[in-house]
Amino acid sequence: MSSLRYYYLCNAGYPNGEGFLTPYRGQRYHLSDWNDGRLPRTAWEFYNYKHSSARNAIEQYFGLLKGRWAILRGKSFYPVKIQCRIIAACALIHNHIRREMPIDPLDVGMQEANLLLDELDGERITHIESTDEWTNWRDTLAHEMFTTWRSSRNNH
**pLDDT value of residue 134:** 84
In a 13 Å sphere around the CA of 118, the CA atoms on its Cβ side amount to 6
In a 13 Å sphere around the CA of 84, the CA atoms on its Cβ side amount to 13
30-72 pLDDT, tens per residue?
A: 888 878 878 888 999 999 999 988 888 888 888 889 988 999 9
99-150 pLDDT, tens per residue?
A: 888 777 666 444 433 333 333 334 444 556 777 888 888 898 899 999 999 8
Average pLDDT over residues 69-87: 91
Q: Apex CA 76: angle with CA 87 and CA 8, to 5°?
A: 55
**pLDDT value of residue 119:** 33
Q: If pLDDT is split at 50, 70 and 90, which confidence band does 88 have?
A: very high
CA-to-CA distance for 52 and 47, rounded, in angstroms? 9
Average pLDDT over residues 1-17: 75
Q: How many other CB atoms sit within 10 Å of the CB of residue 89?
A: 13
If phi > 0 it is left, if psi is from -120 to 50 it is alpha, else beta; for residue 155 that is alpha
